[in-house]
Structure 1
Amino acid sequence: MSSDLVVSIPANVANTRSIGFCTKDTKKVRSYAGHAHIDSTENPGTQNHLFYWFFESQTCNPHVAVPDQQDLISRTPLLIWLNGGPGASSLMGLFLENGPLTIADDAAGTISVRTDSWNQEAHVVYWDQPIGTGYSYSDDQEHVYDEDTLSQMFYQGLQKFFDSHPEYVQCPLYVCGESYGGKYVPAIAREIRKQNRLNADGRQINLQGISVGNGWIRPELSLRVLIDYAYTTGFLGIGQRDSLYESYGVYQAALQAGELKKATRLGNALVATVLEYGGTFDFYDVRRWDDLPMGAVRAYLGSEAVKKALHVPPEVTWQFYDNAGPVADALAEDNMTDCSELYAELIGNGCKTLLYTGNFDTACGYRSTEEILDDLMERMGRQGEWRNAPRLIWTQAQGNPKGFVRSLGNLTQVSIPDSGHEVPAFQPQICREMLYNWLFARPFHGYDPDQLSKPRNGSTGGSS
Structure 2
Amino acid sequence: MPIWKWGFLLFVFVSVRCSVTLSVSDPISEQKLDQVSNLPGQNFNVDFAQYSGYVTVNEESGRALFYWLTEAVEDPASKPLVLWLNGGPGCSSIAYGMAEEVGPFHVNKDGKSVYLNPYSWNTVANLLFLDAPVGVGYSYSNTTSDIFTNGDKRTASDSLQFLLNWLERFPQFKGRDFYITGESYAGHYVPQLSQAIVRYNKENTESPINLKGYMVGNALTDDYSDHVGLFQFLWAAGIISDQTYKKSNELCDKESFIHPSRECDQITDIAYEEMGNIDPYSIFTPPCSANGVTKRLFKRKWHKVGHVGQTYDPCTEQHSTIYFNLPEVQNALHVFQSNNTTRRWATCSNAVNLHWKDSPISVLDVHQELISAGLRVWIFSGDTDAVIPVTSTRYSIDALKLPTVSAWRAWYDEGQVGGWTQGYEGLNFVTVRGAGHEVPLHRPKLALVLIKNFLAGTSMASFEQVIESKTSVSEQVSGF
For the criterion TM > 0.5, the same-fold answer is yes
Question: Which residue pairs with 2:135 in the alignment?
Answer: 132
Using the alignment, how far apart are the partners of 1:269 and 1:319 within structure 2? Answer: 28
Task: Kindly state the Cα deviation for residue 328 of structure 1 after the two structures are TM-superposed.
Answer: 1.2
Task: Kindly state the Cα deviation for residue 187 of structure 1 after the two structures are TM-superposed.
Answer: 0.5
Using the alignment, how far apart are the partners of 2:376 and 2:439 within structure 1? Answer: 20
Matched letter for residue 221 of structure 2: I
Q: Is the 8 A contact 2:40 2:112 kept in 1?
A: no
- Deviation per residue, 1:127-146 (Å, 9 max, x gap): 00011111111111213443
Question: Which residue pairs with 1:397 in the alignment?
Answer: 414
Task: Kindly state the Cα deviation for residue 409 of structure 1 after the two structures are TM-superposed.
Answer: 4.5
Question: Which residue pairs with 2:336 in the alignment?
Answer: 313
Using the alignment, how far apart are the partners of 2:331 and 2:381 within structure 1? Answer: 36
- Deviation per residue, 1:28-75 (Å, 9 max, x gap): 2110100111225xxxx4310100000001112xxxxxxxxxxx61x4
- Deviation per residue, 1:290-338 (Å, 9 max, x gap): 23131000010111111100000124432322xx61211232541x611
Using the alignment, how far apart are the partners of 2:265 and 2:178 within structure 1? Answer: 34
Q: What SS class does the counterpart of residue 9 from structure 1 fall into?
A: coil
Q: Is the 8 A contact 2:65 2:140 kept in 1?
A: yes
Gaps of 5+ in 2: 1-28, 288-300, 304-314, 465-480
Question: Which residue pairs with 2:270 in the alignment?
Answer: 273
Residue in structure 1 matching 2:203, options 198, 203, 215: 198
Using the alignment, how far apart are the partners of 1:161 and 1:343 within structure 2? Answer: 26
Residue in structure 1 matching 2:374, options 336, 344, 350: 350
Matched letter for residue 412 of structure 2: T
Q: Is the 8 A contact 2:82 2:179 kept in 1?
A: yes
Gaps of 5+ in 1: 12-17, 21-25, 61-71, 449-464
Task: Kindly state the Cα deviation for residue 285 of structure 1 after the two structures are TM-superposed.
Answer: 1.5
1:363-374 matches, within 5 Å, as: 363-374=387-398
Using the alignment, how far apart are the partners of 1:271 and 1:123 within structure 2? Answer: 40
Question: Which residue pairs with 2:152 in the alignment?
Answer: 147
Using the alignment, how far apart are the partners of 1:216 and 1:119 within structure 2? Answer: 26
Comparing 423-432 and 232-241, the one that deviates more: 232-241
Matched letter for residue 354 of structure 2: D
Matched letter for residue 206 of structure 1: N
Using the alignment, how far apart are the partners of 1:261 and 1:285 within structure 2? Answer: 21
Question: Which residue pairs with 1:406 in the alignment?
Answer: 422
- Deviation per residue, 1:326-367 (Å, 9 max, x gap): 211232541x61111111111111010110001111111211
Q: What SS class does the counterpart of residue 33 from structure 2 fall into?
A: coil
Using the alignment, how far apart are the partners of 1:240 and 1:345 within structure 2? Answer: 37
Instruction: Indicate how the Cα distance of structure 1 residues 318 and 366 shifts in structure 2: closer, same or farther if over 3 A, else same.
Output: same
Question: Which residue pairs with 2:93 in the alignment?
Answer: 90
Q: Is the 8 A contact 1:264 1:333 kept in 2?
A: no
Residue in structure 1 matching 2:118, options 115, 118, 135: 115
Question: Which residue pairs with 2:35 in the alignment?
Answer: 5
Task: Kindly state the Cα deviation for residue 411 of structure 1 after the two structures are TM-superposed.
Answer: 1.7
Task: Kindly state the Cα deviation for residue 289 of structure 1 after the two structures are TM-superposed.
Answer: 4.9
Task: Kindly state the Cα deviation for residue 147 of structure 1 after the two structures are TM-superposed.
Answer: 2.0
Using the alignment, how far apart are the partners of 2:106 and 2:91 within structure 1? Answer: 17
Comparing 231-240 and 360-369, the one that deviates more: 231-240
Task: Kindly state the Cα deviation for residue 284 of structure 1 after the two structures are TM-superposed.
Answer: 1.1
Matched letter for residue 37 of structure 2: V
- Deviation per residue, 1:210-259 (Å, 9 max, x gap): 0101101112221222222222222222233334344326xx3x65xxxx
Matched letter for residue 222 of structure 1: D
Task: Kindly state the Cα deviation for residue 262 of structure 1 after the two structures are TM-superposed.
Answer: 4.6
Aligned pair count? 402
Q: What SS class does the counterpart of residue 3 from structure 1 fall into?
A: helix
Question: Which residue pairs with 2:473 in the alignment?
Answer: none
C-alpha RMSD of the superposition: 2.3
Higher RCO (CA-CA < 8 Å; seq separation 6+): 2
TM-score (norm 2): 0.78
Using the alignment, how far apart are the partners of 1:4 and 1:266 within structure 2? Answer: 49
Q: What SS class does the counterpart of residue 98 from structure 2 fall into?
A: helix
Task: Kindly state the Cα deviation for residue 117 of structure 1 after the two structures are TM-superposed.
Answer: 0.3
Q: What SS class does the counterpart of residue 51 from structure 1 fall into?
A: strand
Comparing 140-149 and 308-317, the one that deviates more: 140-149
1:150-299 matches, within 5 Å, as: 150-200=155-205, 202-248=206-252, 252=254, 262-263=259-260, 269-290=266-287, 291=301, 292=303, 293=315, 294-299=317-322
Residue in structure 1 matching 2:74, options 53, 59, 74: 59
Question: Which residue pairs with 1:77 in the alignment?
Answer: 80
Residue in structure 1 matching 2:64, options 49, 63, 77: 49
Using the alignment, how far apart are the partners of 1:268 and 1:54 within structure 2? Answer: 39
TM-score (norm 1): 0.81
Q: Is the 8 A contact 2:152 2:358 kept in 1?
A: no
Residue identity over aligned pairs, in percent, reads 24
Question: Which residue pairs with 2:355 in the alignment?
Answer: 330
Using the alignment, how far apart are the partners of 1:27 and 1:214 within structure 2? Answer: 31
